[in-house]
């Protein structure tokens, strides 16, 4: 016999399933926001769909909204959109409970619509589809999970009153159970049903609560971080740096006209990025401070305006990562604008006995740079504020980073830098030192073949073998190429910008059909030949000559 309380509770399943739908939508949005933060900033479904709706609202309705709500029109529009999302999510939950799998269909539809809204926006990146798609998958998974638990709860409860509850029936739809035969033993039947129901209720409520809380934390957190990044990006767009006092002249002949060779100046968008930051730090230049402390006569603290006010000069420097394998792409060349680090260190007055500068970034990353490399008049170590004519991109250290010619990035090129502590190698350790990398790491000079490439056959005849070579602070004197272990031949070099930048090289090769080894090595301006012996990237950088197997077709 169904008791009256049971029938009252029975009426609530639609409400619980509506809540499950709303929590699934929250999970969808939270994961999409998180993925947007990590992979594609512009892909927030909340904003993209909002913008889409604003775009498609008919003009008369827009005018009506503006007339009625004034400057709050967008808030009203987005509020209505939010309400529509909540209602649709509730309906999805109810549908999934009563007419499986139509709830999933509603979420998938929302996924398709938001993906379409996102990828069709101007400026959408290649990964723009990822956040809404991940969100859809997680939203669907949460909906299935919650509704199946709810069903278990409902089934046990209703079975306890009216119908059977055999294990196999617990996973079937409640509606179908009305037709099921009653079991022979009512006491056993009630016991099983109550246990199942109790378990179902607890697991449903726990999963709902935990998912709702996690979605709230992840979603709100990601949205805030995303919004901060967007606002710092806006500050960067508005930032007007003073004209540099001096500029870099790129000499004639600095860039060779060879198909497939890397550009002499690496565009910011193509510049390699290496850091430990999970999300790009966002630093407002107006609150940024640089502190010089430690073994100094006087602690120095500078604002961004103080730094830039010292006058900017241009420097061309090729950056190299210690993780760059022979022939690899973790090397790039840019024209930076900045202020010599030695000028600022001298304001603080390093004390005798100091031999290292520990630089720290806003996110706690540290690098150990020999004090010598930052004070030497002949080394252009700078605090850089601009990269290739624009303020540093956020991911390359906005608003201020270090650039030190001749040292691998991990011991010198601290991005989002905020502090320089003058200290000793004996006293302090940087981020990578206890992790298997050397405390001091000058760049091992090297050369790279850009063209031809292994796996891309070339036609027999004259083939341009070309690439890059770098020996920061020293300069490249010669690049040599040999084919199939033949004699070393001198390549033609581009005119270097300076000793801190890479040079391009090219050698015309009369290639005959077949497969051939093409090998390169550099000689630096001191007359040293690039080290032949292969070394791994740890602890202080790779070495060896790059050798490419090239297929030449007849
Ligand atoms: N704050 C911070 N700065 C950092 C790093 C980092 O992890 N965090 N990585 C360094 C390393 S290993 C290299 S090679 C260069 C890379 O600079 P880029 O990403 O602008 O090419 O940044 C250096 N500066
Ligand atoms: Mo690096």
pLDDT digits (tens, 9 = 90+) for 232-245: 999 999 999 999 99
Task: Quote the ligand 2 centre to 364 CA distance (angstroms).
Answer: 16
Nearest-CA residue for ligand 1 atom 12 is 410
Please state the rounded mean pLDDT for residues 443-472. Answer: 97
The CA distances from residue 95 to 13, 145, 173, in Å, are 12, 14, 12
Q: Are 85 and 32 in contact (CB under 8 A)?
A: no
Nearest-CA residue for ligand 1 atom 13 is 409
Pairing of strands 461-470, 476-483: unpaired
Task: Using the predicted structure, report yes or no on whether residue 193 has a pLDDT greater than 50.
Answer: yes
Task: Quote the ligand 1 centre to 430 CA distance (angstroms).
Answer: 13
Q: Is 369 in the pocket of ligand 1 (CB under 6 A)?
A: no
Please state the rounded mean pLDDT for residues 58-68. Answer: 78
pLDDT at 2: 40
pLDDT at 178: 40
Sheet of strand 356-361: strand arrangement: 300-303, 289-294, 417-423, 356-361, 366-370
Burial of 533 (0-12, 13-18, 19+ CB in 10 A): exposed
Task: Quote the ligand 2 centre to 433 CA distance (angstroms).
Answer: 13
Q: Residue 278: nearest ligand to its CA?
A: 1
Ligand 1: atom nearest CA of 396 is: 20
- Give the predicted TM-score (pTM) of the model: 0.76
Q: Which of 554, 526, 236 is nearest to 390 (CA)?
A: 236
Dump pLDDT digits (tens) for 400-411: 999 999 999 999
pLDDT at 155: 82
Give me the domains of the chain, ranges plus CATH numbers: 2-171+182-226 (no CATH), 268-435 (3.90.420.10), 446-553 (2.60.40.650)
Q: Is 273 in the pocket of ligand 1 (CB under 6 A)?
A: yes
Q: Is 541 in the pocket of ligand 1 (CB under 6 A)?
A: no
pLDDT at 177: 42
Nearest-CA residue for ligand 1 atom 21 is 273
Task: Using the predicted structure, report yes or no on whether residue 545 has a pLDDT greater than 80.
Answer: yes
Task: Using the predicted structure, report yes or no on whether residue 37 has a pLDDT greater than 90.
Answer: no
Give kind and range of the element (H or E) at residue 382: strand 382-387
Task: Using the predicted structure, report yes or no on whether residue 67 has a pLDDT greater than 90.
Answer: no
pLDDT band for position 11 (cuts 50, 70, 90): low
Q: Which long-range contacts (CB under 8 A, 24 or more apart) does 95-102 make?
A: 96/17, 96/20, 96/21, 96/143, 96/144, 96/147, 97/13, 97/14, 97/17, 97/20, 97/147, 97/150, 97/151, 98/14, 98/17, 98/175, 100/147, 100/173
pLDDT at 196: 76
pLDDT band for position 118 (cuts 50, 70, 90): confident
């Amino acid at each position: 016999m169904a008791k009256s309380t049971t029938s009252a509770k029975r009426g609530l399943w639609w409400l619980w399933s509506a809540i499950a739908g709303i929590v699934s939508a929250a999970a969808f949005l939270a994961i999409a926001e998180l993925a947007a933060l990590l992979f594609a900033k512009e892909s927030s479904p909340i904003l993209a769909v909002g913008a889409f709706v604003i775009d498609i609202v008919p003009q008369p309705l827009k005018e009506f909204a503006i007339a009625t709500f004034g400057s709050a029109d967008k808030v009203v529009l987005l509020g209505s959109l939010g309400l529509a999302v909540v209602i649709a999510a509730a309906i999805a939950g109810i549908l999934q409970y009563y007419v499986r799998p139509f709830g999933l269909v509603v979420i998938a539809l929302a996924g398709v619509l938001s993906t379409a809204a996102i990828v069709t926006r101007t400026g959408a990146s290649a990964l723009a589809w990822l956040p809404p798609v991940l969100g859809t998958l997680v939203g669907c998974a949460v909906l299935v999970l919650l509704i199946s638990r709810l069903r278990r709860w409902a089934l046990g409860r209703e079975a306890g009153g009216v119908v059977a509850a055999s294990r196999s029936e617990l996973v079937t739809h409640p509606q179908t159970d009305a037709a099921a035969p009653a079991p022979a033993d009512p006491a056993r039947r009630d016991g099983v049903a109550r246990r199942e129901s109790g378990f179902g209720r607890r697991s449903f409520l726990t999963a709902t609560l935990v998912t709702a809380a996690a979605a709230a934390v992840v979603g709100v957190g990601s949205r805030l971080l995303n919004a901060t990044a967007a606002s710092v990006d806006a500050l960067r767009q508005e930032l007007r740096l003073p004209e540099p006092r001096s500029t870099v002249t790129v000499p004639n002949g600095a860039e060779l006209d060879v198909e497939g060779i890397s550009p002499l100046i690496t565009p910011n968008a193509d510049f390699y990025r290496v850091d430990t930051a999970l999300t790009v730090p966002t630093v407002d230049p107006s609150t940024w401070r640089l502190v010089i402390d430690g073994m100094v006569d006087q602690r120095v603290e500078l604002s961004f305006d103080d730094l830039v006010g010292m006058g900017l000069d241009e420097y061309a420097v090729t950056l190299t990562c210690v993780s760059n394998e022979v022939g690899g792409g973790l090397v790039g060349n840019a024209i930076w604008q900045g202020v010599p680090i030695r000028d600022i260190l001298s304001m603080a007055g390093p004390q005798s006995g100091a031999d290292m500068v520990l630089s720290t970034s806003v996110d706690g990353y540290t690098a150990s740079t020999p004090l010598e490399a930052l004070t030497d008049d002949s080394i252009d170590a700078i605090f850089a504020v601009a990269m290739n004519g624009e303020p540093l991109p956020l991911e390359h250290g906005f608003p201020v980073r270090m650039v030190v010619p001749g040292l691998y990035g991990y011991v010198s090129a601290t991005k989002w830098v905020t502090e320089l502590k003058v200290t000793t190698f004996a006293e302090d350790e940087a981020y990578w030192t206890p992790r298997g990398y050397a405390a001091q790491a000058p760049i091992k000079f090297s050369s790279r073949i850009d063209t031809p490439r292994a796996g891309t056959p070339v036609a027999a005849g004259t083939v341009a073998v070309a690439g890059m070579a770098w020996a920061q602070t020293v300069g490249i004197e010669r690049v040599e190429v040999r084919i199939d272990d033949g004699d070393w031949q001198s390549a033609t070099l581009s005119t270097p910008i300076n000793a801190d930048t890479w040079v391009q090289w090219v050698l015309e090769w009369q290639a005959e059909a077949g497969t051939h080894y093409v090998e390169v090595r550099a000689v630096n301006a001191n007359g040293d030949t690039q080290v032949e012996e292969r070394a791994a990237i740890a602890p202080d950088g790779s070495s060896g000559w790059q050798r490419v197997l090239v297929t030449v077709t007849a």
